[in-house]
């Protein structure tokens, strides 16, 4: 089987799960993983044959894809803001919406790349947020926490791979007794769990059956759980003129604005590129 036929074979095998464009992207990623050839190299060598070993691995991979396993977990990596990050079932797969959150932070701090900043990332996953911020704001000291040991170990490996010195801490942030382990910060950033349990019915199986539930879901009766904790934490651990950047569930934009609104706070709700209420910035005066 040559590369051209292999790509068509993959697309046809998963077309009942993914639309044509996504199936084509998955096929390209899978073939790159199998052969080491990027998209351009695959096109230039489209008549090049797969080895028997590669064909066998291809069949096994398609079986996994047809059980809704995300391609990122299958190949063990995901791209985020131009960088490759190791991912596994203990980590969320980085999303484009989170890139927009990072761009908001960097735009605010573009003239402060040499200023010392103490930053906390809550819910690190693969470590993509703190690693990107450390690269763009080198003078920053960054702590990143996650309840999952698997996520913390993955974030540590990604930090080493990208030469980013960040402090990775396994911690249950919802347990307030743990907060004493942390210093005060200029910036707090988080993409916390915010999908209500009742919303599971709307999720694709590749998310619901494979991505970590602890990083996704909150109780129906307490959808702002993590935002309430972050607000409480910020009263003692966010410095004056400090800022909080949050990714949010679009349903609760006004509720989160109300939650953080106070005499000494300014709150900004921001839409993503799809026009959804997706991000909030809080400034502590």
Ranges of the chain whose pLDDT falls below 50? none
Can you tell me whether residue 5 is helix, strand or coil? helix
- Res 112: pLDDT: 59
- Asked if 32 contacts 42 with a C-beta cutoff of 8 angstroms, the reply is yes
Angle at 135 between CA 108 and CA 38, to 5 degrees: 115
For residue 204, give both structure tokens: 């694709």
The CA distance from 112 to 220, in Å, is: 40
Residues 6+ apart with CB under 8 A from 28: 7, 39, 42
pLDDT on residue 115: 67
Residue bearing tokens 């398609």: 62
d(CA 58, CA 30): 8
pLDDT (tens digit, 9 = 90+) per residue, 46-66?
A: 999 999 999 999 999 999 999
pLDDT of residue 264: 86
pLDDT of residue 109: 86
Polymer length of the chain: 285
pLDDT in tens, 63-81: 999 999 999 999 999 999 9
pLDDT reported for residue 102:
96
Contact yes or no for 243/108 (Cβ under 8 A): yes
CA distance 103 to 280: 13
How far is the C-alpha of 43 from the C-alpha of 195, rounded, in Å? 40
pTM here?
0.93
């Amino acid at each position: 089987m040559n590369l051209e036929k292999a790509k068509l074979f993959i697309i046809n095998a998963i077309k009942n799960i993914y639309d044509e464009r996504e199936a084509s992207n998955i096929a390209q990623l899978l073939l790159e993983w199998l052969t080491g050839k990027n998209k351009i190299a695959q096109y230039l060598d489209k008549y090049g044959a797969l080895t028997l070993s590669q064909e066998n691995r291809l069949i096994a991979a398609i079986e996994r894809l047809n059980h809704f396993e995300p391609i990122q977990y299958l190949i063990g990596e995901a791209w985020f803001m131009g960088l490759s990050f190791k991912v596994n079932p203990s980590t969320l797969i980085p999303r484009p919406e989170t890139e927009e959150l990072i761009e908001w932070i960097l735009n605010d701090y573009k003239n402060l790349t040499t200023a010392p900043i103490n930053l906390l990332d809550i819910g690190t996953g693969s470590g993509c947020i703190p690693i990107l911020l450390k690269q763009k704001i080198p003078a920053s000291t960054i702590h990143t926490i996650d309840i999952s040991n698997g996520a913390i170990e993955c974030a540590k490996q990604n930090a080493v791979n990208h030469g980013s010195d960040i402090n990775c801490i396994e911690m249950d942030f919802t347990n307030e007794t743990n907060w004493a382990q942390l210093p005060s910060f200029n910036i707090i950033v988080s993409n916390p769990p915010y999908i209500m349990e009742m919303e599971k019915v709307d999720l694709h199986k590749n998310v619901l059956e494979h991505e970590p539930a602890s990083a996704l879901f909150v109780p129906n009766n307490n959808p702002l759980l993590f935002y309430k904790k972050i607000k409480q934490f910020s009263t003692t651990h966010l410095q004056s003129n400090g800022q909080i950047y949050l990714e949010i569930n679009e349903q609760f934009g006004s509720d989160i604005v109300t939650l953080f609104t106070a005499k000494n706070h300014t709150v900004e709700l921001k839409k993503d590129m799809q026009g959804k209420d997706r991000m909030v910035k809080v400034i502590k005066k």
